[in-house]
Structures are given as structure tokens and as C-alpha cells.
Amino acid sequence: MQTACINSISIIGLGLIGASVLRALKKSPVASKQRILFKGYDPSFDDQDIDHIKELGLDRFETDKKSLYEADLIILAAPVETNISLLDEISRTVQRPTLVSDVSSTKAAIARRAGELGIDFIGMHPIAGKEQQGYHASHEELFSGKTVVLCADEETLSRPDAGNLQELLQSIKCRIVVMTPEEHDKIVATVSHLPQLLSTALINHCEHDIDISGPGFSTLTRLAGSSWDIWKDIVVTNRENIASELESFSRELEQIADEIRTNRMSKVRIRFEKANTLHENLTEKSSK
């Protein structure tokens, strides 16, 4: 067992992910044993929201920034660019060594800014979510069995408080994967950001024929319901990787179109068979 050195956690941003982190960690046997104090803040909350979030496990709703940032671990759970701007506020406010993390969907930009400010930082990305947003949609089991990517160097990860963070994540049944911020952003551009933009492009492309579409079309365009308010920061902070993936995929589409036009159905069949195998493997993995 790691040294128990995290006695207080502040979560800034109490939407779906932030509130789910709160609820999951609050029920963690490790957090219970360490008697961790959970503080938090969300600028959109009114008195009723504050009462509800306390019922979900928040010990103190802090509006005073000095008190809010007086914690052993700060988790930023606002939109990406807001989280980046909060790093400047933290660097001006925090008076003692504090580990800072985030749950943003991109990592390179925020890790770079944390490094410039000399902040002890571990990027964290829980690969989990829902179409619904807000703390009302949060759940303590949202991360159970899911992958959590940690982005930090070996020196940072070897710190006692970083070890305690990893122990907390493991106690809520997360699978931890470590990679660099740059590796992370390239991978999520492929398997997360590309599907979102393809879904958006597809439904817009087919707008005049939606009335006669079937359930397959609905399934394929599910991500088209995602809010631009959430995705704006993701696209801005990972635009080079996303653009490269879109260009690469467009070339793939051109190849398929050429194979179909020139009646090379053996090529198309190979694509289907490979996709069948990959989908079967993905389904098996998801069911475990």
C-alpha cells in the first residue's frame, strides 16, 4: 500500500465527469480509510444544486479560491481551455506543494502550460462518459472497469501523492494506462475525435433523407447529438491531430469508392471480413 498522503481533494467543475469522480472516490475504501475531505466548486451552481451535490458526497462547496485550492490534490473538471486558464490561478494562489490533475479530453496543451508554470501535474483521462450532461447524470460506477489514462513522467508518477492517486483509482476498479500527453492526443484523435466529427458530417450530409433512415443510421449518428460547447475546446486543443486523421480517413473513403466504382468486390469483401473480426474483438472486450 502506498503512503496515505492525500487528505483533501478539491474538484473544480461538478458536471457529469467531475461529479462522477466525486461519487466514485467518496465510496472508495481507500478514501474512507484515509478520511479524505472532498471540496468542490462549480460556477453554474445555485443553492439547490449545492444541496444536491452535498447529498452526493461533497463535504464542502467552496467559493473562496484560497480555501478551494488548499488541498493535497486538485482535480480540474471544467472544459479544456477553462482548465488551462485555471492553472494560472492555481499557480498564483497555492502556497504549498500540491498535486494537480484534470479530466480533460486532450492533454498536450494543458501539460505544456502546467510545465511552464512549474505545477506538479498529472494529466488524467477517464475513458468513460454518457450522452447526458450535468451532475444529475453522474454515477459512482461510471469508471468501474474503465481505462484511465495518466499522462506524466516517471519522476512525477513515483511521488508518494501520485502513488496514492493511483491507489485511489485502482480502488474504484479503474484500469490505469500511462502514456505521454502527445501519445494520448494522437490516439484519442483516432478513436474518439474522428468518430465524433464523422458522425456530425454524416448526418449533415444526409439531412434531406433522414425521414426515411433506419435504426442503423440512428446508431451511426448517435454522436451527432454531442454539444459544440463541449467539443469546441477539444477541437481547438487537438486540431492538428484531428485534421490529420480526417485527411487520412478521407483517403480511405476515396479508395473504397474507387474499389466499388471499378467493381473490385474482392477488395470490398476483405474490408468487410476484417471489420467483422475487429468488431467481434471489440464486442468481446466491452463485455468483460
> Are 53 and 23 within 8 A, CB to CB?
no
- Among 179, 212, 243, which residue terminates a domain? 179
Number of structural domains found in the chain = 2
d(CA 90, CA 66): 9
Residues 155-174 pLDDT 10s: 999 999 999 999 999 999 99
Neighbours of 216 (CB within 10 A): 8
Q: Are residues 150 and 69 in the same domain?
A: yes
Which domain-ending residue is among 132, 151, 179?
179
Q: Is 80 in the same domain as 126?
A: yes
Task: DSSP letter for 113, please.
Answer: H
DSSP 137: G
Instruction: Specify whether 98 is located in the same domain as 231.
Output: no
Prediction pTM value: 0.89
User: Which residues of the chain are modeled with pLDDT < 50?
Assistant: 1
26: domain range?
8-179
- Closest by Cα among 76, 106, 79 to 238: 106
Do 215 and 160 fall within a single domain? no
Q: What is the CATH number of the domain that holds 195?
A: 1.10.3660.10
pLDDT in tens, 147-160: 999 999 899 999 99
At how many degrees (to 10) do helices 108-117 and 181-188 cross?
A: 160
Residue 3 lies in a domain: no
